[in-house]
A and B are shown apart, each in its own frame.
Chain A
Amino acid sequence: LTGCVAGSGEGGPSSSRVFVVRRDQDIYIQTLRKLFNESHGIFVGLQRSEEELAGKSRKAQLVQVSKNYRSVIRACMEDMHQAAISTRDPALHSQYSTQVSILSAMELIWNLCEILFVEAAAAGPLLLRLLDWVRLHVCDVDNMVREVLSSENPSKHELFWNVVDVFVLQGRMDEARHLLSKEASANPASVNMYKILDDLMKKMPMPSLGNTQTLTEMELKWQHWHEECQRYLQDGTFASNSHMESICKILLGDEDAILEKKELMTTWYHFLVTRLLYSHPTVKPMELRFYAQMDLFLGGESSPEPLDTILMAAFEFEMHQVIKECSIALSNWWFVAHLTDLLDHCKLLQSHNLYFGSNMREFLLLEYASGLFSHHSLWQLGVDYFDHCPEYGRVYLELHIERIPLNTEQKALKVLRICEQRQMHEQVRSICKIMAMKALRNNRLGSALSWSIRAKDAAFATLISDRFLKDYCERGCFSDLDLIDNLGPSMLLSDRLTFLGKYREFHRLYGEKRFSEAAKLLLMLMTAHIAPCSFWMTLLTDALPLLEQKEVIFSAEQTYELMRCLEDLTAGKSDKQKFQNDDVETMKVEMLRLALARNLARVIVKEGTLEGS
């Protein structure tokens, strides 16, 4: 947890300060967002990739994924570096520079893990890979190299021999020979020495990547070559030139000679690889640990840094230790989560269950994704990570997704889509209810209805319909006719909604003077119990004009039905209620009874009359 302070501090005991506490500070750095987004794409691609591919092709695929991750880290490093250079704020500059070195360290570790674990390079190619690794990452000497190479007369440069040594230490034989040739042409006296040294360097046996030679062949050749170097050294061929002599000693793997060039190697792992190159080029992966000795290099002056401990654990093939140390050293779960996931796909992590039930890969992914969810924007990435955590992913997602603030409808729609795709019905209902309530409060009845349709929430649809009906009773006309007239099949979502639609239809029919149809509909609304009891009075009152028409509309049957409804309604009310209801109510009932009776009278006569007489 990191915190930063905001707000005015006036000093003194009564100064008020507001602390802005942020979990996981890193995710707010702009440049790192690219890292999160690009790696998300790689992660999802990896999960979806073909599991059926076996053996070599699967391994090649995993190595490619690892390389993709690394190139994303490097791209981010570049951007961060650009940002560091271009900023004028010293605080930002130092922050960016720190980030650059952290990213660089991450790439270093990942690269080593790729060589040792993902690719699982065997003896032979292992050394070549390690050499590439060293060349790529120990760049402190690059400036010096550039300086010498670009000078007019390299062999006269004071750092000339340093550069040659660098090349030799890194196994860059061709470049070393090229430089030496310049020295030879400038210094004819040492031509003989140069020729021999050049020859030795040319003939040095290197492991091959293909199947052109077996390990034993390589070892034999190497032994011969080693002996030849030994002979030349003992003969004193290089005695007159200390530089060339030390190079020969290095070629022979003389530890002291190599250690003399400590400053040019700068790190103990460079030393390790150089040692291997010149004393045991066919080293097997499991033998690395015996050669990885920090103390020789550090000489007891400085204690190992976290990076050193991590790399050491890697050389010792202690994968869990690597992950653990990285988790401690880094402030963000990004690195360990993705690396562990990749190693898990390589089937390298035993499913050793942590005591709360999930395995290490899942634990780290859950932590990382939870961190993403605390970010206002990156939460969308977190969803895919939770998806690929079989044990607890779904639960975590359910809990997190409900807490995302929904400030626009569009954001709510996106969150809803995520929930629907995963059949998280509870969350769908809850979100729709929230949005529908918001819409209702803002008097957006159409929006509210739209949300309840999405959630198939009948109860809410009833609520909305009641709102409409209330508005109608108060104002005497319908609001939002465009909605009610066009309900379509969604009308069936709730009874109240159906009633609303049908009631509106009644009004329409009345307006179009289709009285008998309107009458039939009105009656049906009451008898089929679609109308809520509270509304019956209004419906009966609506029937009044139909009853008072010159032409008889309601048949005798229908009139009897209406009367029955009226009696049901009045009987239902208790005496107390009758008392409280003012004269308007009683007058209404009276009028209705009168109108019904009159209608009944007319219709009996009409129905009893024979046609045409």
Chain B
Amino acid sequence: CAKFVSQKISKTRWRPLPAAALQPPDLFATGSWDNEDNRISIWSVGELGNVGLGGEYQGEPQLLCDIRHNGDVMDMQFLDQERIVVASSTGTVTVFRHHQNNQTLSANQRWEKAHYHVDQNTSCGGAACTGVICNNPEIVTVGEDGRINLFRADQKDAVRTIDNADSSTLHAVTFLRTTEILTVNSIGQLKIWDLRQQRNEPSQILSLTGDRVPLHCVDRHPNQQHIVATGGQDGMLSIWDIRQGTMPVSLLNAHEAEMWEVHFHPSNPDHLFTCSEDGSLWHWDTSTDISEKPSFLHQGGRSTTYFSHSTINQSVVSAWLSNDPTKDRMEITNLIPNQTLSVNSLDILGPCLVYGTDAEAIYVNRQLFA
């Protein structure tokens, strides 16, 4: 059920779990947009005491703390357990620290004008920073100015900047390997950049064959680094194999409007989630017919089931690359019964899903695979 929060939510992210953790996530962050006073907020869903009939989570997320943010929150990612990197529409990138002891947020570090337009006549010369990705301690940001920045947490200046990396807007970025990143832009191209090389040229460019539909989001398969999924302005989901050719492996007609985010499930990548401007959130399930559903509660002696499932994943060629989606059964479910306004962001970790909408509501589902 929904929690109405009096601000349009542009990003929601679960706090990552420590490596050996067995319990599901209990804390998430949200960022707002289109407010005179935008905020980064931290919410807790820890109380498992309110378990209802079907084991469904009954209680509402509780606000722990929040802090004012200058500009719309364009993208957000947890750097580690305590720090969050936030990309702003003013072109600034900020690192916030969440203090657990007194439940406050503070701005830890800030890179002003990480993204800007050269023309000083425009309002403040600031260009929106549209995407941020972290691999502690490295932070990569991209923006409307077509610039790529590589920052290091706790270092004041950028480690590297690629000016004019793209003549159009870069919408999103992801890590392929620790030294390789992939960006998507508003003329439908994927570009791979090798950060070890000094030249400011992409090492590979891939694009769609037809119309140059802008790409808004990208995510890499958690286990197989050559598989990438992108979402476009026409709501199309594309799966790419980086090793082979410059065209997508499959194009799946999904949403009726812009796809804002695409996520592979981090521990069960046969599941993919997408959300869109048309107000829907789809769960794509290519896992082959197994009677037992994957269990993520990790309580008691269930861990053996989990491990055997993940080895099956790695030895078989991923179902995403099969050229005939009709042959292997793919189940697609819309998780939102009454859709109204855009779902701007979603995040999944373990059995928990959180998403935020333009109807100023947050939804949490902690029994995703039940």
Contacts and interface: CB of A to CB of B under 8 A. Distances in A.
Interface of A: 30-31, 33-34, 37-38, 40-41, 44-45, 376-377, 380-381, 384, 407-411, 413-414, 417, 421, 438, 441-447, 449-450, 453, 479-480, 482-483, 486-490
B289 interface: no
Contacts of A40: 340, 359
Contacts of A384: 340
A396 to B, nearest CB: 19
B211 A483 contact: no
Interface string B118-134: 11011000011010000
B122 A441 contact: yes
Contacts of B6: 30-31, 33-34, 37
Contacts of B187: 446, 449-450, 483, 486
B347 interface: no
B277 A417 contact: yes
Nearest to B37: A30
A44 B340 contact: yes
A30 B39 CA distance: 13
Interface string B80-101: 0000000001000000000000
A389 to B, nearest CB: 17
Of B202, B358, B360, most A-chain CB atoms within 10 Å: B360
B211 A490 contact: yes
A447 B144 CA distance: 9
A450 B74 CA distance: 20
B206 to A, nearest CB: 10
B361 A446 contact: no
Nearest to B116: A442
B257 interface: yes
A334 B34 CA distance: 22
A488 B211 contact: yes
A468 B89 CA distance: 28
Interface in B210-251: 210-212, 214, 233
Given A33-B6, A37-B4, A444-B167, A482 B202 contact: yes
8 contacts: A40-B340, A41-B359, A413-B233, A442-B119, A445-B167, A447-B144, A447-B186, A490-B212
6 tightest Cβ-Cβ pairs between the two chains A and B: A446-B168, A446-B167, A480-B167, A442-B117, A33-B6, A34-B4
A446 B128 contact: no
Interface string B60-84: 0000000000001010000000000
A486 B205 contact: yes
A488 B210 contact: yes
| Interface secondary structure of A, over-half rule | helix
A488 B144 contact: no
Nearest to A448: B168
A451 B267 CA distance: 38
Interface residues of B, number: 55
Of A30, A38, A411, A447, most B-chain CB atoms within 10 Å: A447
B166 interface: yes
A278 B306 CA distance: 69
B119 A487 contact: no
B8 interface: yes
Contacts of B144: 408-409, 444, 447
Contacts of B164: 480
B186 A482 contact: no
Contacts of B146: 444, 446-447
A380 B166 CA distance: 32
Nearest to B257: A417
Contacts of A450: 168-169, 186-187, 212, 214
Contact of B167 (A30, A409, A447): A447
Contacts of B189: 482, 486
Contacts of A479: 167
A404 B270 CA distance: 41
A446 B186 contact: yes
B207 interface: yes
A34 B208 CA distance: 42
Interface of B: 4-8, 33-36, 72, 74, 89, 117-119, 121-122, 127-128, 130, 144-146, 164, 166-169, 185-189, 191, 202, 205, 207-212, 214, 233, 257-258, 277, 338, 340-342, 358-361
Of B188, B209, B341, most A-chain CB atoms within 10 Å: B341
B145 A444 contact: yes
Contacts of B186: 409, 446-447, 450
B358 A380 contact: yes
A41 B277 contact: no
A86 to B, nearest CB: 13
A37 B35 contact: no
Given A409-B128, A450-B168, 8 more contacts: A30-B6, A31-B6, A377-B7, A410-B74, A413-B277, A414-B358, A449-B168, A490-B212
Contacts of B360: 33-34, 37
Nearest to A45: B338
Contacts of B72: 407-408, 410-411
Contacts of A490: 211-212
A408 B89 contact: yes
A497 to B, nearest CB: 12
Contacts of A453: 211-212
A479 B146 CA distance: 13
A413 to B, nearest CB: 6
B119 A443 contact: yes
Contact of A444 (B168, B257, B358, B361): B168
A482 B146 CA distance: 12
B168 A447 contact: yes
Contacts of A410: 33, 72, 74, 128, 130
A447 B185 CA distance: 9
Contact of A376 (B4, B36, B277, B340): B36
Nearest to B34: A377
A482 B74 CA distance: 25
Of A407, A411, A480, most B-chain CB atoms within 10 Å: A407
B119 A441 contact: yes
A409 B72 CA distance: 12
A486 B119 contact: no
A387 to B, nearest CB: 12
B258 A442 contact: no
Nearest to B361: A37
Nearest to A36: B360
A259 B212 CA distance: 79
Given A34-B360, A376-B36, A486 B212 contact: yes
A381 B211 CA distance: 32
Of B34, B121, B359, most A-chain CB atoms within 10 Å: B34
A447 B169 contact: yes
A268 to B, nearest CB: 36
Given A407-B89, A446-B186, A446-B187, A489 B210 contact: yes
A450 B127 CA distance: 17
Contact of A380 (B185, B209, B341): B341
A381 B186 CA distance: 27
A449 B144 CA distance: 14
Contact of B168 (A376, A483, A489): A483
Contacts of A44: 340
B114 to A, nearest CB: 15
Contacts of A482: 166-167, 189, 191, 202, 205
Contacts of B361: 37
Contact of A446 (B122, B130, B185, B209): B185
Given A407-B89, A488-B207, A488-B211, A442 B118 contact: yes
A64 B7 CA distance: 27
A381 B340 CA distance: 10
Given A376-B36, A450-B168, A482-B189, A443 B118 contact: yes
Contacts of B342: 414
Contacts of A411: 33-34, 72
A38 B340 CA distance: 11
Nearest to A438: B122
B109 to A, nearest CB: 23
